[in-house]
Each structure stands twice: as structure tokens, then as C-alpha cells.
Structure 1
């Protein structure tokens, strides 16, 4: 697994069930609300500072996802994409990446085409059971409850930079980039 993790340059995430717990709250006014995990967000920000690219590909289309991506500095956001392969191909082309340089994290059967192609495929603990048998890693945490952070940490550790990152932050190097 370590050899796969060392090659990763891009992390692509589904949103519902990965960055969120797949729940959706609706107010009486018709507004939708989604809950995101702050530790997931911190992991994304740290990994971005280390040079990793991120993209979101989701079947939903909402301003909430756009806003969360802005906060995390994720520029590549593909919404309203029930079938996600076209967006995946676009990301590969844009960044001149090979499949083995990409980690994808999804949670349902519509994610399978990408999960089966990427260099490192991951799902949250509560992913659909039929999907779990096709991936490299099943997180110990559920979607929206730190599963993304767990996978980001796994990638940083596999690349051999997590320990140095922690030491640098303790030493006061707040850039997030190991010296």
C-alpha cells in the first residue's frame, strides 16, 4: 500500500456520504443545510499546502458545496454529475495526471467506475457494502466524521511526510510545508 500512497498527487472526493454524513437537513423555509467535519477540512488545507491537489465530484448541485470548496481552497468542483467519469477525465487532463497518481474517495455504486480505476481507492466506514470489496482502503471513520482526514493522513504518512509535518508545526513552522 505504501508504494501506491507515495505516487498520489491528487485527491478527488465525492461529497454526500464522504465529506458529509449523507444526511440532509431542510428547514421549513425550504433551505438545505449540510454538516461538514472541521478535521476533514483541516486535513485538506494541510495537504494542499504540501502541494496536493483536490477536486470534488458530486451528483448534487448546491451553493453550500461551492462555499465549502471556496473555504478549503478547492478550485475544481464538479456538481450535478451523477455519472462522474467525464469529470474525472477532465481532472486528469487538466493536471496531466495518470490514474495511479490519483486517490478517489466515494461511498456508493455510482463511484465504482472511478474507484476501480484510480491508484488508491478509499471509502468511509459506512459506505455501501457492495462498494467496499472493490477498494484499497475502508476508513475506520464514517463519512462526515473524519474519514477524509483519516485518508489524507494515511497518504501523508505513506509519502513519508506526516511525521516531519507534525514536527515542523510543533517547532513553529506554521506554513504547513515541511522545511
Structure 2
């Protein structure tokens, strides 16, 4: 199991920002085209990560996506998970995107967690209160993190982070029980 997150730090976190390729996915990109020539990009997302995102949101933590690659697959997944803040822009620096989002939401860097995996994430990892990486993160990204998942990106690392964060806040067990009761009552919403 990965290191624990300090309880005081965990309780300060109001926003979790997720990278996509290599964090929410395994980093692989499936490219193709329809018969009419329309490009198609597919990505594989982990269902357990989705449930972890849901539980963080239910705990009152904002969750957003910031990625430098535009993909309709990301938009679809974000809609399924009801993530309101989704920023996909090849031309914008991730740091500027996150800075503008924090200013708009009135959230400080010290109240923000970021999960990354590679060089494009370093400027954010070096600023947030809780810099986290997936198990297969590059050595440079890992050196900037205070928490590292054992699981790889796209293979449950986001769920592992959600569990570590909510456990440190003293909320994981309660969130799990609320989820189970909701499902038993038949009032379930999409989970993952």
C-alpha cells in the first residue's frame, strides 16, 4: 500500500485535478477512422477510478480534468462522471489553465491536489498542496510528489488516491457504507 496522506493536509484539500493520459488511462491511445474518414480516438478508463471520483465528489471535493490532448472520449467520460471542470487544450500550458481555474473557484494552491505522471505535469506538481503521482510515473514526476500510488495510471491509481485521501480525512468508511446503502435501496446512480 502507498504511504498515508497526512490528515491535516487531506482535510485542507478542496480540489483534485486529474491529468488524463497516463493517469486516468494507461497512456495508450487507439487511433482510427470511420469509413467516411472521420478520425476516431479511443481511450481505456478504469471503472474503479470512476467510483473513487464519485466518492470524492460526494465528500464535497471538487474534481476537475486538465489535459493537453483534446479527445471526445475524455468529454464522454467526464460527462458520465459529472465532472464540470474539463479543460482540454493542446495550445495552453496546464499551469495557466489550473491557475485560472483556482482563481475562478476561489481555491488556493495549498487546498489543491494534482495527480500526474510525466514532464508536462511538473509545474503543477511543484505548486499544489498535495502533489501525487501514479505508480508508473516518470522519475522526475515522482521526485516532485509527496504521495505515489502503487497502481499504474488507468489501472486503479485514481481510486487508490481517492481511498487514501478520504481515509486520511476520516471519511472513507462512511462513504463506502453510504454507497452500499444507496445500492441496497435501489436508488443507485452511475458509479464508475
- TM-score, normalisation: structure 2: 0.85
Shift of 1:164: 1.9
Match of 2:3 in 1: none
How far 1:28 moved relative to its partner? 5.5
Distance 1:136 1:147 in 2: 15
**Residue 15 of structure 1 is aligned with which of 16, 20, 27?**
20
Correspondence for 1:3: 8
Q: Provide the residue aligned with 2:80 in structure 1.
A: 71
Alignment of 1:160-171 (within 5 A): 160-170=170-180
The two structures, once aligned, show a CA RMSD in angstroms of: 1.7
Q: Runs of 5+ in structure 2 lacking a partner? A: 1-5
**Offset of 1:27 from its aligned partner?**
3.0
In structure 1, stretches of 5+ residues that fail to align are: none
Aligned to 2:131: 121
Shift of 1:2: 2.1
| Number of residue pairs the alignment of both structures matches | 175
What are the within-5 Å matches in structure 2 for residues 1-179 of structure 1?
A: 1-27=6-32, 29=34, 30-81=39-90, 83-170=93-180, 172-173=181-182
- C-alpha distance in structure 1 between counterparts of 2:177 and 2:30, whole Å: 40
Q: Once structures 1 and 2 are overlaid, which stretch shifts more, 111-120 or 161-170?
A: 161-170
The whole-number CA distance in structure 2 between the counterparts of 1:54 and 1:166 is 18
Shift of 1:152: 0.9
Preserved CA contact (<8 Å) 2:41 2:72: no
Check whether the contact 2:16–2:64 (CA below 8 A) recurs between aligned residues: yes
Distance in 2, Cα, partners of 1:148 & 1:17? 11
Secondary structure of the corresponding residue to residue 135 of structure 1: coil
Shift of 1:173: 4.6
SS in 1 for 2:122: helix
- The alpha-carbon deviation at position 113 of structure 1 amounts to 0.8
